[in-house]
Each structure stands twice: as C-alpha cells, then as structure tokens.
Amino acid sequence: MDAKRLARGFKATLGARAAHVVANGLLVVLLTRFLLTNAEYGLLGTVLAVCGVAGLFADLGLAKSAARYVTEYRETDPGQIPHVLRTALGYRLVATFAVVAGFVLFGGRVARLVGHPDLAPLLGIGGVYVAVYSLSTFAVIAFQGFNRVTYSAVTRATGSVCLLAFVTLGVVALGGAAGALAGYVVSYALAAAVGVGLLYWKFYRDHERAASDAVESGLARRVLRYSVPLTATRGANVLDKRVDTILVGVLIGPVAVSYYYLAKQISTFVQTPAASLGFTVSPTYGEQKADGETKSAARLYETTLEHTLLLYVPAAAGMVLVADPAVVTVFGATYSAAVPVVQAFAGYVVLQAITFITSDALDFLGRARERALAKGGTSVANFLLNLLLIPAFGAFGAAMATVATHSVYVAVNLAVVHAELSLAIPRLLRHVAFVCAITVAMSGAVLVALPYVSGPLSLAGVVLLGVVVWAALAVFSGLLDVRRVVGILA
C-alpha cells in the first residue's frame, strides 16, 4: 500500500470537499438570509430533489461499475481499459439523453404530481442540470477507479467554487429559484468540461495507444451487469436522500422543505472528512483483495473506522447542543423551526460517516449485491415511515425516519465487511467505549458554557472550547496521534 499516495489523495479530496463546504455554506447563508424567501428556498430544494431522483436514470451505476473494472484491469490487462470507459460512457450518454427528453416531455406532469405546478418551468432547466451533473460525476468516479482521486478533487472543486459565483449571479440576474438553478447548470457544466477533458488527456488517450485491438469477450455485458446492483443501491439511496424532501413538500409545503433542506445541508457540511477519507481509501481494498492481502485490508478498515468514530460521535453531540443558538445566529430567526430537525440529523451524521467509509469499500470488494439488498429494504422502510411520520411530526418526523432506517443499513454493511475481512471486534468495542467517555466529558464542558452565548463570537468560543476539550482527551487517551495527523496533512 502506498501510504504517501493515500495521504496525497486524501488531502486533495478533503481540500476539494472543504472548498465545496465553504462555497456551499456561504451560498446557503446568502440564499436563506438575503436572496430567497423561505418558500423560494424550499422550491429550490424540491426541484433539486426531483433532479436527484431523475439523475438515477441518467447514472444507472455505470460510472461505479466502470471504476471497479478499471481497478481490476489495471492489474491484469490495461489494454481493456479504453473499452471499459467507452462502453460505460456510451451507455451513460444514451440514458442521459432519455432523461433530458423525459423532462422536456413530462415536466409539467411531474410538477403536478408532486403538488407544485410552479415547478414546471424549473424542470426544463432541471433536465440540463441532470445532464451536466451526470457527466461531471462520471469523471469523478472514473478517476477513483484509476486510484487518482486528485483529479476527482480538481473536478469537484471546479463545480464547488463556481457554485457560489454563478448561483448568486443567476438569482440577481434572473431572480428566484429559476435563477439559482441556472447557476447550478453553468457551474456543473464547467466541472464536466474539466473532468471529461482530464479523463481523456491524462488517462484514456495514453491507454488507447496500448489498447488491445480485441475487446475481451463479454466485457460490455459484465460492465452493464455489475451496474445493476449498483443502480439498485443508488436508487435506494435516492429514495433515502431525495424522496423524503419531495414528500415533505407534497405533504406539508415548501416552507417546511426549507427547514428540512437546510438541516440536510448542515449535516452534509459536517460529513466532509469522512466522505473524503472513504472516497480515497476505497479502491485500495479492491487492490489488496486482488493481491490476497485481506489482513492488511482489515487493519486499514479498522483504523479508518476508529478515527471516524473518534471524530463523529463527539461532533454529533456538539450538533445537538449548539443547534439552537447556531441556526438562529447564522441563518436567522425565521429558520428557528429547523433546530429540532438539525438535532435529529446529528445521529444521521454518525451513521452516514460510517457509510462513507464502508459502502464504496464493499463495491470495490465485489459485495455490491449484498449492499444493494440492504439498501433497497431499508429505503422502502424509510419511504413508508416518512408517509407515517411526516403528517404527524412534520420535517422532524422525516429526519427520525431517516435515522431509524439508516441505522439498520449501517449494521448490515458492518456485518458484510466483517464477513469479508474478519474485523477485530473486541478492539473496536473498546475504542467505542473510550470515544463515548470523551464525548460525555466534552458535552459537559459545552453545557456549562452555553448559557453565556450571546452572539457569533461567543458561539464560536463555545465551539472552540468543545474542540479543545475533545482534542486534549483524545490525545491523553492515546486515541489521537497528533504527529501522525500533522504528517498526513503536511
């Protein structure tokens, strides 16, 4: 395992996602406080959720399937890699064209179906958004297959940095949610141009020169077949992450969507380190399995899980404690109803962090089918729970449904990883006990300081106090090696 390569990839991915968090965070503040009303922001969240559902049919798991076979053929037959990329991209373009045509032909019907006729003009722009976003994500995931996530980071960062400028410009120039959505289209079109261009010049062109004239028998069929469980997993993921937002809008209205969408955005910001780490490390599991080094893969996963829990269990506790003053201070009193939703999503933050470091690992270990079955079952349960809890508890009910069902999904994922790699369970349980003790101590310090919060500076001071207490206890207990962390980030 090339530790320097992993560290370099992690820093690049973390940097790109950090750029996304900063840009998107500033964008959310601008949209919620200055540029859009609660209803307009909720409408934007709804149309992006609809586009996310439609994006499933443009993606079809083909990028991840291509990445899996790129990883495999890099070790066994590099001459097949251009054929893998052409096959996957060809299927993807056909699917994307079908989705865009569907938006043009049936956008009005979809708007009426979700109970918002005013969405109809936005869905025309949404079709273009799905197309450019699909192309950018294809490049991002293809780079992961080459284990060159630095290029994934460049593609992500392009879209993220452009979002702040072009979405703001779109709202100012065109007004409302339509202007914001137009800004999303321009941003991801630029990201797609950068990503596809890098994929061609840095990887495809070089491999094409050495490509095998004969395509391996059944290659296209295998790429398409492996995309099936990946599509099922992604479809279930969309059901979890997008349909709940649509249901909140249908059953309650766009203002409630604004609270729910804001809470989801906040949880996404917090998940950045885990998402970066999981994306960077995952291809290594496939490489180690191909080389017969399952023990090394197990130790790598255990170390990744331990550090993830050390960071995210205390972070979730902090979200619960400071949600009230933080939401009102940053986004304004009109979003105070989002506070309990943010607190409910604290549990989801921990679960999603574990998912980020586990799900991609299972795909590269060849266990996509098991993950798909688990995701499908829990997503259907989540949909049914949403129908039950949203009318009774509003956006808070949707958040609780997500936390409950995602807990089951994470448990199944961990069981499959254990079956594949034979994890050291006693060691992991001892680590969890220490992390919980640190979380209790940190929470006590934050609770003592909370009554003194009276503005942004004092709020920042309380957050800093929690971080200092957490870091001191983590270092003292031996769970956090500062020199190692500095070495990775240096």
Mean of the per-residue pLDDT values of the chain: 80
Residue 278: predicted pLDDT? 63
Residue 287: predicted pLDDT? 64
Q: What are the backbone dihedrals phi and psi of residue 175, each rounded to the nearest 5 degrees, phi first?
A: 85, 145
- Per-residue pLDDT, averaged over 217-221, amounts to 78
Higher pLDDT, 277 or 144: 144
Residue 452: predicted pLDDT? 84
Position of tokens 């800004």?
Answer: 183
DSSP code, position 424: -
Q: Which two tokens stand for residue 16?
A: 């790109």
Give the integer Cα–Cα distance in Å for 371 and 164.
35
- Confidence band (pLDDT; 50, 70, 90) for 207? low
Sign of the alpha-carbon torsion through 88, 92, 94, 95: positive
Position of tokens 């900063």?
Answer: 22
Look up residue 239 and give its amino acid: L
Give the integer Cα–Cα distance in Å for 447 and 466.
10
pLDDT tens figures, 347-395 = 888 998 888 888 777 766 667 677 777 877 888 888 899 889 988 888 8
pLDDT tens figures, 32-56 = 887 888 888 888 887 887 887 777 7
Classify 216 as helix, strand or coil.
Answer: coil
Residue 1: predicted pLDDT? 44
What share of the chain has pLDDT > 70, as a percent?
Answer: 84
**In sequence order, what are the residues at sequence separation of 6 or more whose Cβ sits closer than 8 angstroms to the Cβ of residue 473?**
438, 441, 442
**In sequence order, what are the residues at sequence separation of 6 or more whose Cβ sits closer than 8 angstroms to the Cβ of residue 243?**
49, 53, 383, 386
Is the backbone of residue 2 left (phi > 0), alpha (psi -120 to 50) or beta? beta
Residue 16: predicted pLDDT? 65
CB–CB of 258/39 below 8 Å? yes
- Confidence band (pLDDT; 50, 70, 90) for 238? low
Position of tokens 């069929």?
Answer: 221
Q: Is the pLDDT of residue 180 over 50?
A: yes
- Per-residue pLDDT, averaged over 150-162, amounts to 83
Alpha carbon of residue 92 to chain centroid: 21
Give the integer Cα–Cα distance in Å for 355 and 149.
19
Q: Which two tokens stand for residue 427?
A: 């060691």
Give the integer Cα–Cα distance in Å for 383 and 389.
10
- Confidence band (pLDDT; 50, 70, 90) for 484? low
- Confidence band (pLDDT; 50, 70, 90) for 275? low
Give the integer Cα–Cα distance in Å for 98 and 103.
9
**In sequence order, what are the residues at sequence separation of 6 or more whose Cβ sits closer than 8 angstroms to the Cβ of residue 303?**
none
CB–CB of 446/465 below 8 Å? yes
Higher pLDDT, 226 or 460: 460
Triad 457, 458, 464: Cα angle to 5°:
90
Alpha carbon of residue 402 to chain centroid: 15
CB–CB of 205/61 below 8 Å? no
Residue 234: predicted pLDDT? 66
